[in-house]
Amino acid sequence: MSVDSDIISTLTQRAKQRPRRIILPEHGDERVLQAVCRLASNGAVVPVLLDAPTTDTATIPDNVEIFSRRSDAAQWRDRAAAELFARRAAKGTTAEQARASLDNPLLLAALLVGLGYVDGGVAGSVATTADVLRAGLHGVGLADDAHQVSSFFLMALADGRLLSYGDCGVIPDPDAEALADIAIATAAGHQRLTGAEPRVALLSFSTRGSAQHSKVDKVREAFDIVRRRQPSLRVDGELQFDAAFDPIVAQKKAPNSAVAGAANVFIFPDLDAGNIAYKITQRIGGAKALGPLLQGFARPWMDLSRGCSADDIADVAVIASLLGD
């Protein structure tokens, strides 16, 4: 079995144990409809569409929920409009404007996620990342312990190991507080998806004071913040990648470290490093990269690449299901 099929099969089997309701608002996209059919067939997720597709509706399985056909759809729209007004009134949004905004399917779906009508949402096969993030911020909102949205990749290595890389897709140059947020959120996401205890390495071009620079200071400060906020989390930094990944190097560079040589969560100091690293791991190392998986929202709200396949959409829906409460 390939790396791709092995990790997806494992995640799908786990999701089947407790299928969550995941909304996919871009029902006009044929790829979304294909993904919905796959999900409805394998039972990993209970897929929800805002409305029936305008063509070929007979291809949608009977066990796919169509929100607009529910007898209480109007009441849920009323609740969504009231919630949006409550969140945006201070910004000058009127009640009428809030209701009119629900014509945006992404925003309506995000509000239904935020209200708990569904367990999570997946969008972005048609909409831009900026639109998906905006809808998520307005509709789902941030988790209580989050200060911003970031992302991580679940990396399935060719030898079967699972690593998490953050942030590789959202925040270009996080400060120490943001880097600590990314570390804590990525550790939680890694544990939910893999079941393994997270061992977090805050990466740098320095290990334990081998270099002095303001960028190194940022990583050290982030480490202190993580330790203060999550004292039970196994974390170390600053560490170079080889010290974090290779046990032999770790013995030389960071003896007695809680994670050096055995890290499974790697936190990069900026988006340059993270984005380059995951692509090298994927293209040269032959790893399967699942993501970027958005984190920091109060409930799972996932973005897609507009070049995604139907299988990609279904896979992200499975991950959204597993990242739920």
CATH T-level topology, domain 3-141+297-322: Rossmann fold (3.40.50)
pLDDT in tens, 203-216: 999 998 888 899 99
Indicate if the pLDDT at residue 325 is higher than 80: no
For residue 67, the 8-state DSSP code is G
What does the block give as tokens for 135?
Answer: 């809808």
- Determine the pLDDT at residue 1: 39
Beta strands in 57-160 (DSSP E): 65-66, 120-123, 150-156
Listed by start position, the domains of the chain span 3-141+297-322, 150-289
Domains 3-141+297-322 and 150-289 share a fold: yes
Q: What are phi and psi of 108, to 5 degrees?
A: -60, -45
Predicted local distance difference test score (pLDDT) of residue 155? 95
In DSSP notation, 221-290 reads HHHHHHHHH-TTSEEEEEE-HHHHH-HHHHHHHSTT-SSTT---EEE-SSHHHHHHHHHHHHHTT--EEE
CB 170 within 8 A of CB 149: yes
Q: What does the alpha-carbon distance between residue 13 and residue 268 come to, in Å, rounded to a whole number? A: 31
More confident call, 228 vs 146: 228
Is a pLDDT exceeding 60 seen at residue 2? no
- pTM for this prediction: 0.89
Instruction: Return the CATH superfamily for domain 150-289.
Output: Isocitrate/Isopropylmalate dehydrogenase-like (3.40.50.10750)
In this structure, how many other beta carbons lie within 10 angstroms of the beta carbon of residue 93?
Answer: 17
Task: Determine the pLDDT at residue 58.
Answer: 53
Residue 56 — very low, low, confident or very high, per pLDDT cuts 50/70/90? Answer: low
Q: Determine the average pLDDT of the residues in 45-51.
A: 95
pLDDT digits (tens, 9 = 90+) for 80-111: 999 999 999 999 999 999 999 999 999 999 99
